[in-house]
């Protein structure tokens, strides 16, 4: 599958260092909005939606990590960015590792957040893709929110939880499922030693 033009939004300092921000599975670039004021003091922020998410196109799956990584390089080319820093959550972090390995000449620094470099069970992700295609995202989203937010946070900030819920359930089923299939093929651990830029890991 060839790369596509993903939807994106810019904020922050137009003259600052370019920082591309990638969201997690079942979220969109809106997940970064609470950090825009702080990060935007230093960076030119480019927040984008993965293919199959938000306002980006939803080509039929399955997708691969190569597809997702090439989408970012295409976005950087559209914005005429020779080099950029990149931070991603979950599947966004997987894309970041792919970039560090496959396009080291383009990547200044990486931020890898709540992510992993290989899967323990491909079947879990392919089964999830099949479930979402047949039954939708409601049950998967409910389980995800239980992991993403502590009981205390859910009680104290119900409006935030509801907003993330609404973003997640609006994700196209095919986009979510096809990204699950990309995660099912994840196997980057043996190549992590090829990343030679500065990296920050956040668990």
- Does 1 score more than 70 pLDDT? no
Listed range (26-30, 111-115, 138-142) with the worst mean pLDDT? 138-142
Residue 197, in any domain of the structure: yes
**pLDDT value of residue 75:** 98
Residue pair 8/166 in contact (Cβ under 8 Å)? The answer is no
- Does 53 score more than 80 pLDDT? yes
Mean pLDDT of the chain: 96
- Does 51 score more than 90 pLDDT? yes
**pLDDT value of residue 2:** 84
Nearest residue to 71 (alpha-carbon basis) of 90, 43, 41, 46: 46
CATH number at residue 54: 3.40.50.1820
| pLDDT over 90 percentage in the chain | 94
Q: How confident is the model over 110-117, as a mean pLDDT?
A: 97
Q: How confident is the model over 139-166, as a mean pLDDT?
A: 93
- Does 78 score more than 80 pLDDT? yes
Question: Which residue's structure tokens are 């043996």?
Answer: 190
Domain count of the chain?
Answer: 1
d(CA 16, CA 163): 30
Q: What is the DSSP string of the chain?
A: -------EEEEE-TTSEEEEEE--TT--GGGGGGGHHHHTTTEEEEEEPPTTSTTS----S---HHHHHHHHHHHHHHTT-SSEEEEEETHHHHHHHHHHHH-TTTEEEEEEES--SB-S-HHHHHHHHHHHHHH-SHHHHHHHHHHHS-HHHHHH-HHHHHHHHHHHHTS-HHHHHHHHHHHHT-B-GGGGGG--SEEEEE-
Tokens of 178: 């096809």
Residue 23, in any domain of the structure: yes
**pLDDT value of residue 47:** 98
Residue 84, in any domain of the structure: yes
Q: How confident is the model at residue 54 (pLDDT cuts 50, 70, 90)?
A: very high
Could you tell me the residue range of the domain that residue 116 belongs to? 8-202
d(CA 167, CA 186): 25
Q: How confident is the model over 22-34, as a mean pLDDT?
A: 96
Residue pair 115/88 in contact (Cβ under 8 Å)? The answer is yes
Residue 1, in any domain of the structure: no
| pLDDT over 70 percentage in the chain | 100
Residue 2, in any domain of the structure: no
Nearest residue to 196 (alpha-carbon basis) of 119, 99, 118, 114: 99
Q: How confident is the model over 99-119, as a mean pLDDT?
A: 97
Question: Which residue's structure tokens are 């597809």?
Answer: 67
Residue 3, in any domain of the structure: no
- Does 159 score more than 80 pLDDT? yes
- Does 194 score more than 70 pLDDT? yes
């Amino acid at each position: 599958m060839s790369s596509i033009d993903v939807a994106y939004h810019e904020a922050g300092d137009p003259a600052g260092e370019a920082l591309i921000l990638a969201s997690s599975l079942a979220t969109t670039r809106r997940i970064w909005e609470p950090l825009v004021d702080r990060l935007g003091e230093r960076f030119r922020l480019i927040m984008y939606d993965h293919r199959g998410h938000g306002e980006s196109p939803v080509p039929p799956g399955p997708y691969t990590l190569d597809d997702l990584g090439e989408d970012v390089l295409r976005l950087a080319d559209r914005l005429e960015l020779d080099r950029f820093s990149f931070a991603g959550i979950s599947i966004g972090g997987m894309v970041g590792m792919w970039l560090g390995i496959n396009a080291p000449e383009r990547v200044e620094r990486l931020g890898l957040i709540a992510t992993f470099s290989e899967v323990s069970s491909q079947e879990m992700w392919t089964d999830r893709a099949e479930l979402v295609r047949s039954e939708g995202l409601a049950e998967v989203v409910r389980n995800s929110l239980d992991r993403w937010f502590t009981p205390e946070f859910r009680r104290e900030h119900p409006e935030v939880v509801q907003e993330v819920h609404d973003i997640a359930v609006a994700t196209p089923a095919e986009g979510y499922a096809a990204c699950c299939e990309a995660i099912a093929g994840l196997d980057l651990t043996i190549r992590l030693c090829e990343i030679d830029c500065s990296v920050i890991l956040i668990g």
